[in-house]
Structure 1
Amino acid sequence: MDISGIQLRAVRAAVFTAVVVTLSAASHVLLSRVPLPLTTVAAIAAAVFAVAFALAGRERGFGRIAALLIPLELAADTVFTTGQHVCYGSAGGPVAGPLRAVGLDVLCGGGSVGTPLSRVTGGAPDHAGVLIARADPAAAWLLLGAHLAVGLLAA
């Protein structure tokens, strides 16, 4: 059986994307206690699918997978965090004012992902900016270590 067929590559990439983006978004919401903008999650899903589809044609070893997976995971985390900052602002609510006139409502207006999950951990969209602004500096190093460990385990 040819594992590089277009349909099989698309199915493998779609399953990989569904699993990776769901786990990444859920863990990001649980750890940050802030929901993610839907458009940010959709953009990450499209990027992950494109990379997975492009690389699904042949088998790769641990080193190559880890060398690609860890930076991509860190980039996805950065995009998620940036989406939270842009859409929820430092005041804790949706960004209002002149940024809306520029089209930010298109970026943040699609809804949010993980709102019930963020409420389980004690966070809520009404104080999302406060949670983002008061992050402990040691948490960033722990998060980096967690990303590296998960990336190596996934590879």
Structure 2
Amino acid sequence: MDISGTQLRAVRAALFTAFVVTLGTASHVLLSRAPLPGATVAAVAAGVFVTAYGLAGRERGFGRIAALLVPLELAADTVFTTGQHACYGRAGGPVAGPLRAVGLDVLCEGRVGSPLARMAGPDPAGELFAHAGPAAAWLLLAAHVGVGLLAAAWL
């Protein structure tokens, strides 16, 4: 059986996308205590699927996988955070004003992870790190790099 066949590549990429995006979305919602916009999750899922499909054709080593996954992990987190701030503001509520006039409300429809955000606690987004010192940013960066390296070792 050829593992690089088009149909099997699509199935492998879809399973990888479902696992990675679900895990990333859930952890981001739990840590930020705010839901994610559906369009943001869909954009990250599309990017992960296209990348996974393109790379599923042949075997690669740890170094090459890690060199790709670590920046992608950081990029996905940045897209998630940007989507949250654009749609829900710094306080976790809906954004009003001129952004609604240019159609941002269409992109912000649907809240992914609302039950998880409520389960994490009543604090709005950003409250978790509101009084954190400079070391918190380095710890968060180290956690993201660690997740990327762990995923590369798994793959």
Deviation at residue 150 of structure 1 after TM alignment? 1.2
Deviation at residue 119 of structure 1 after TM alignment? 1.3
Identify the range of structure 1 (2-11 vs 136-145) with the bigger mean alpha-carbon deviation: 136-145
Contact 2:33 2:117 in 1 (8 A): yes
Moved over 6 A (4+): none
Contact 1:41 1:80 in 2 (8 A): yes
Aligned length: 151
Contact 2:34 2:92 in 1 (8 A): no
RMSD after superposition? 1.7
Contact 1:32 1:132 in 2 (8 A): yes
Unaligned segments of structure 1, at least 5 residues: none
Mapped to 1, the partners of 2:128 and 2:13 lie a distance apart of 32
Deviation at residue 90 of structure 1 after TM alignment? 2.8
Under a length normalisation based on structure 2, what TM-score does the superposition of the two structures give? Answer: 0.91
Mapped to 1, the partners of 2:101 and 2:9 lie a distance apart of 41
1:139 has 2:123 as partner = no
Any idea what the Cα deviations from partners look like across 1:36-93, whole Å, max 9, x if unmatched? 1111001100000000001000011100010000000000000000001001113431
Deviation at residue 133 of structure 1 after TM alignment? 8.1
Identify the range of structure 1 (143-152 vs 133-142) with the bigger mean alpha-carbon deviation: 133-142
Identity %, equivalent residues: 76
Mapped to 1, the partners of 2:89 and 2:128 lie a distance apart of 9
Mapped to 1, the partners of 2:12 and 2:20 lie a distance apart of 12
1:34-49 to 2 correspondence within 5 Å? 34-49=34-49
Cα 1:91–1:146 change in 2 (3 A) is closer
1:55 has 2:55 as partner = yes
Mapped to 2, the partners of 1:32 and 1:135 lie a distance apart of 14
The aligned counterpart of 1:87 is 87
1:28 has 2:28 as partner = yes
1:62 is matched by which residue type in structure 2?
F
1:58-137 to 2 correspondence within 5 Å? 58-109=58-109, 111-123=110-122, 127-128=124-125, 131=127, 134=130, 136=132, 137=134
Mapped to 1, the partners of 2:88 and 2:128 lie a distance apart of 9
Deviation at residue 34 of structure 1 after TM alignment? 1.1
1:150 has 2:147 as partner = yes
**What SS does the corresponding residue of 2:103 show, helix, strand or coil?**
helix
Unaligned segments of structure 2, at least 5 residues: none
